[in-house]
Amino acid sequence: MVVIRVKPAFLTLLILFTHTTSSQLTNPNPTPTPWPEQFHSIIFMTTNGTKYQKVDLWYDWPNGRNFNIIQSQLGKLLYDLEWTNGTSFYYTLDSNKECRVMHFPVGILAPDWLHGATYVGQKNLDGFLCNVWEKVEFIIYYEDVVSKRPVSWTFYTGMSAHIMTFEVGKVLDDPNWQAPVYCFKNAAEQEKANDDKKRIGIAESVASMDGPYHGRLNMRSIAMNLTAAI
Ligand SMILES: *[C@@H]1O[C@H](CO)[C@@H](O)[C@H](O)[C@H]1NC(C)=O
Ligand SMILES: *[C@@H]1O[C@H](CO)[C@@H](O)[C@H](O)[C@H]1NC(C)=O
Ligand SMILES: *[C@@H]1O[C@H](CO)[C@@H](O)[C@H](O)[C@H]1NC(C)=O
């Protein structure tokens, strides 16, 4: 009995799988798979083979929040907590108690943030056959042809991300999303520090992504110089 039930199911799966795979391989103009609404990734970042960083990315669209926990090689552990109301907190949790609060005119990336990217074909990257899209002067994005998971992306600055893990549906517990108290103590002072050179530089690099090519695209955490942010 069991065998009779299993056989058609297996065949159906096989047909579906074969069908999906072949249509993915032959679709002349595929679109990037939207990001899952919630996931956790470990990402290795490098800029042309220098400035190595390990990033824990906690993407949480339904709760309007995005977290990058960034370990620079033999360096700082930096927390980059972004809220969709435009507030970002950059802080350390060491004895230096550094924190910078920033405000941006755009929220966090939407799951379909790659919508409108130009398909540029297939390429082997990091050992995976990928579909590749480009947003001119901003990003090149590589997605695994078969699993449709992101494999890598490279910013126009030369900074590239390599996706090491991709855990769909994994959410970081609420208490971890609380910026430390010294972020709020300094808030008033930071509001006044409008003449801060680095701060203006960061604001400009975000604003420039609001141009015709990028729509309201905002990758606050990455397009700016994170180490300069504190
Ligand atoms: C945005 O939301 C965060 C988290 O709730 C909060 O700490 C911050 O003050 C808010 N920013 C503004 C401008 O309301
Ligand atoms: C990284 O390499 C690219 C391509 O060679 C170059 O355009 C870019 O300026 C480099 N970036 C840095 C920060 O060296
Ligand atoms: C990052 O900083 C370097 C040197 O400080 C600068 O040349 C580069 O343009 C900055 N990148 C961005 C995206 O602002």
Ligand 2 lined by 137 (C-beta under 6 Å): no
Residue type, 79: Y
The atom number, within ligand 3, closest to the CA of 225 reads 1
Nearest protein CA to atom 6 of ligand 3, as residue: 225
Res. 102: pLDDT tops 70: yes
Ligand 3 lined by 33 (C-beta under 6 Å): no
Res. 25: pLDDT tops 90: no
* Average pLDDT value over all residues in the chain: 78
Nearest protein CA to atom 3 of ligand 2, as residue: 158
Point out which residues pair with 119 in neighbouring strands. 133
- At residue 217, the 3 state secondary structure works out as coil
Q: Is residue 144 within 8 Å of residue 33, measured between CB atoms?
A: no
The atom number, within ligand 1, closest to the CA of 177 reads 4
| Confidence band for 138, pLDDT divided at 50, 70 and 90 | confident
Residue type, 168: V
Q: Which of 60, 63, 65, 87 to mutate to test the pocket of ligand 1 (most atoms within 8 A of CB)?
A: 87
Calculate mean pLDDT across residues 27-44.
Answer: 94
Res. 112: pLDDT tops 80: yes
Q: Which of 53, 157, 160, 222 to mutate to test the pocket of ligand 2 (most atoms within 8 A of CB)?
A: 157
Strand bridging mode 150-155 / 139-144: antiparallel
Q: Count CB neighbours of 129 within 10 A.
A: 14
Strand bridging mode 128-135 / 150-155: unpaired
Q: What's the predicted TM-score (pTM) here?
A: 0.76
Q: Is residue 164 within 8 Å of residue 44, measured between CB atoms?
A: yes
Dihedral angle at the C-alpha atoms of 42, 70, 226, 183, nearest 10 degrees?
130
Please report, for residues 120, 131, 148, 149, the alpha-carbon distance to residue 163 in angstroms, rounded to integers and kept in the order given.
20, 15, 12, 9
Q: Which residues line ligand 1 (CB under 6 A)?
A: 83, 85, 87
Strand bridging mode 128-135 / 50-60: unpaired
Strand bridging mode 139-144 / 50-60: unpaired
The rounded distance, in Å, linking the Cα atoms of 49 and 198 is 24
**More confident call, 144 vs 16:** 144
Ligand 2 lined by 72 (C-beta under 6 Å): no
Calculate mean pLDDT across residues 200-223.
Answer: 44
Nearest protein CA to atom 2 of ligand 3, as residue: 225
The rounded distance, in Å, linking the Cα atoms of 150 and 125 is 11
Nearest protein CA to atom 6 of ligand 1, as residue: 87
